[in-house]
């Protein structure tokens, strides 16, 4: 039995299949569903868990090479929220939300949270 780290078996399975340069999406509760990629839904209640909580849990065992977010994130959130994301991942590349969503179908999978942060979705590329 696992005693620490990621305990969710679906997330462990998904993470074990992410290879060099593959991408993983961590999304909020309202993010669209893509039937062609595996989605692990871990939403519990409003705001639990958040994208930041998932990023913090992944950080010890997931080497991020690149990260993308929608540029709208910066105009809809306070600078301290951005700082929290930047503390967990390498420099974030910001692009229009529609361009960001075009990357999603190429991901190995998506972890859906219950986050309510506007445009708080992130795509991580494994190093």
- Residues annotated as part of the active site: 20
Q: Give CA 98 to chain center in angstroms.
A: 17
Tokens of 87: 């503390």
Edge-to-edge, what's the strand order for the sheet holding 122-126?
Answer: 38-41, 109-112, 23-27, 122-126, 64-70, 92-95
Other C-beta atoms lying within 10 Å of the C-beta of residue 20: 9
């Amino acid at each position: 039995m696992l005693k620490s780290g990621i305990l969710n078996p679906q997330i462990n399975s998904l993470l074990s299949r992410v290879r060099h340069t593959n991408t993983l999406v961590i999304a909020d509760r309202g993010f669209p569903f893509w039937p062609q990629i595996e989605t692990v839904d871990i939403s519990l209640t409003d705001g639990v868990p958040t994208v930041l909580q998932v990023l913090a849990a992944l950080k010890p065992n997931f080497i991020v090479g690149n990260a993308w977010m929608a540029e709208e994130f910066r105009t809809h959130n306070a600078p301290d929220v951005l700082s929290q994301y930047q503390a967990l991942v390498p420099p974030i590349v910001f692009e229009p939300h529609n361009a960001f969503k075009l990357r999603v179908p190429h991901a190995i999978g998506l972890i859906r949270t219950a986050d309510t942060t506007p445009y708080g979705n992130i795509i991580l590329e494994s190093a």
